Chain A
Amino acid sequence: MISRRRFVAAGSGLLLAGCDRLNRSPEFRATLRSAERLTMKVQRLVSPRDALAREYSEADLSPVFRSNGTAMPGTDEYARHLKEGFANWRLTVDGLVARPLSISLETLRTIPHRVQITRHDCVEGWSAIGKWHGLELARILDAAGLSTRARYIVFHCADRFGDKPYYESIDLIDAFHPQTILAWGMNGHLLTVPHGAPLRLRVERQLGYKQAKYVQRIEAVDSIARIHGGKGGYWEDNVDYEWYAGI
């Protein structure tokens, strides 16, 4: 009996060690990673291009919408902006565009905006429903005159995670989706600092870590390979989260 128990324990130990070893193998990781592309392709295949994320009613709002990630960008520059009430915060739009832009927050807020009550799904598993006020990203990209060579839109943020800058990227299907907005308000108020003041991305068909906060600069690129770690985002570069966070 003891030997059998020992046998089972040794067996499960071997199994786990085997899984951990596989997990460290670059070839195996590459195989697992190929599933991300498959998932994205199939999800895109069954999704109408402009399929809308569910919009909820006021009654569905989370009583408390928790924040996650950076709660306060610790830079001197951000502290100055916060003190000034973001009066001098500008959004830069550059890269593969015909007309690079630098837009003040005040101007952004005068552009007709969308209000959407949507669900925020964290990669960890929790969900919160919030109301977002902001302008469609498509309007900004159209105003800047996106080049036909552009494939991705990169969002550079004011916060740093450890010693690395936070950034995220999406492709043009999500960039021109009607619910993809640059939000400056939440639940009827201006954005608070933990939720990304003064400007954050909402890309409603993807998980929380794609919803870049403290957005300062939007860059249109033909490839994400040359940006920071080359995988298209802070979490993608540093922790190996999927670039496609649709699931």
Chain B
Amino acid sequence: MVDPAVIEEPAKAESRPSRPARRIAYRHRVPTRLWHWLNAITVFVMLMSGLMIFNAHPHLYWGQYGANFDHPWLSFHGRPVPGWATIPSTYNLAAARRWHLGFAWLLVLPLVLFLITSLINRHAQRDLKPTRDEVRLAHIWHDIREHARLRFPTGDAALRYNILQKVSYLTVIFVLLPLMVLTGLAMSPSMDAAWPWLLDIFGGRQSARSIHFICAMALLAFIVVHLLMVVLAGPINEIGSMITGRFRVPPERTGE
């Protein structure tokens, strides 16, 4: 993600001499940006069409089987998810499945591509893997406190992911998204025949369906926090950097 090439722009002549130079850094490479915006569409379609499918039988079970006469661990009456949160907006299981199973390909193929390339070009190891120093409890606690006080990293530190970002992104990319795909496949009767281990690792089709739902809710929580952070950290600079790749580095805090 972080490119060493940092473009220094000299302060304009008319600006006050105390104002530091504007630093623009190239922060996101093209594949990251493309994948980000493709996912921004795909993940929403998957979530909303998935919630429509959930409306068809809003009861979740653990184990191999589970239907109306069995004991759900989560259960709702009627069609619990409102129309504004589903695709399509009125009840239609067939259409929701078409959306879900079609966009699934747009989620899966780029995900696999990203997982492989980010490991080969060492983006994951270089930019996402926490350093030994970062996983110290004192460091993590410090970062949590800084975030809670809305004091975000500045200067060179803003060009690296902090430990909270690293853990979130690693969880989403290497845990939640692969789990979504695998539990999705485990719900397919045809894939269960081809790859019976799918049923074994999740403890049955209904368990896989429950984990699918839990991971979807975790992704939703990630998106909410992610969007909140973008707004708090300066939406124009943050969104702009994900479009152009160029990030205006917040100047170091001084005299505090």
Cα-based distance from A227 to B149 in the complex (angstroms): 67
Complex contacts, B193 vs chain A, CB 8 Å: 47, 51-54, 204-205
Assess the A124–B56 pair: CB atoms within 8 A. Answer: yes
Cβ contact within 8 Å between A247 and B194: no
Contact call B69/A241, Cβ cutoff below 8 A = no
A16 to B49, CA, bound (A): 11
B138 to chain A, nearest CB (A): 38
* Cβ B57 vs Cβ A53 within 8 A: no
On chain A, the residues within 8 Å of B56 by CB distance are: 123-125
Within 8 A of B (CB), among A1-40: 12-13, 16, 19-20, 23, 29, 31-36, 38-39
Which of B58-66, B166-174, B241-249 is near enough to bind chain A? B58-66
- B interface, over-half SS: helix
A residues 181-216 near B (Cβ < 8 Å) are 204-207
The answer for the CA separation of A23 and B95 in the assembled complex, in Å, is 8
B109-125, CB < 8 A from A? none
Known contacts A20-B88, A206-B190; A128 and B94 CB within 8 A of each other: no
Which of A38, A66, A205 has a CB less than 8 Å from the CB of B105? Answer: A38
Given A20-B89, A62-B65, A128-B67; A204-B189 close (CB under 8 Å): yes
A162 proximal to B (CB < 8 A): no
Question: Is A47's CB under 8 angstroms from B194's CB?
Answer: yes
Given the interface pairs A56-B64, A60-B64, A66-B69, the reply to whether A127 lies near B205 with Cβ below 8 Å is: yes
With an 8 A cutoff between CB atoms, is B20 at the interface? no
Looking at the assembled complex, report how far the CB atom of B106 sits from the nearest CB atom of chain A, in whole angstroms: 9
Contact with A along B93-113 (1 / 0, CB 8 A): 111011101101100000000
Residues on the A chain within 8 Å of B48, using CB: 19
Beyond A54-B199, A206-B190, whether A126 also contacts B105 by CB under 8 A is no
Cα A59 to Cα B121 in complex, Å, equals 50
Query: A241: which B residues are within 8 A, CB to CB?
Result: 94, 97
Q: Are B188 and A126 in contact (CB under 8 A)?
A: no
> In the docked arrangement, what's the CA distance between A189 and B39, Å?
51
Q: Count chain B residues whose beta carbon lies closer than 8 angstroms to a beta carbon of A.
A: 46
Chain A residues contacting B66 (CB-CB under 8 Å) are: 126-127
Alpha-carbon separation in the docked complex, A43 to B93 (Å): 22
Asked if B209 lies at the interface with its beta carbon under 8 angstroms from chain A, I say: yes
Q: Which of B95, B102, B187, B206 contacts A31 (CB 8 A)?
A: B102
Report the separation of the CA atoms of residues A178 and B69 in the bound assembly, to the nearest whole angstrom: 30
CA distance A242 to B90 in the complex (A): 19
* Minimum CB distance partner of A45 in chain B: B194
A51 B194 Cβ-Cβ under 8 A? yes
Instruction: Check A124–B98 contact: CB distance below 8 A.
Output: no
> Does B8 reach chain A (CB closer than 8 Å)?
no
Chain A nearest CB from B37 CB (Å) reads 15
Alpha-carbon distance between A38 and B48 when the two chains are bound, in angstroms: 22
Q: Tell me, in angstroms, the Cα distance from A124 to B93 when the chains sit together.
A: 8
A220 within 8 A of B: no
Inter-chain contacts of B92 with A (CB < 8 A): 23
A195 to B203 CA separation, bound complex (whole angstroms)? 27
Chain B, 1-17, CB within 8 A of any chain A CB = none
Residue in chain B with minimal CB distance to A65? B67
B54 at the interface (CB under 8 A from A): yes
List chain B positions with a Cβ less than 8 A from chain A.
45, 48, 53-54, 56-57, 59, 64-70, 83-84, 87-90, 92-95, 97-99, 101-102, 104-105, 185, 187-196, 199, 205-206, 209
Closest A-B pairs by Cβ, 5 of them: A246-B190, A35-B102, A47-B194, A247-B188, A64-B69
13 chain-A/chain-B pairs, Cβ below 8 angstroms: A12-B84, A23-B87, A23-B99, A34-B102, A35-B104, A35-B105, A46-B194, A51-B193, A64-B70, A125-B57, A127-B64, A205-B190, A247-B189
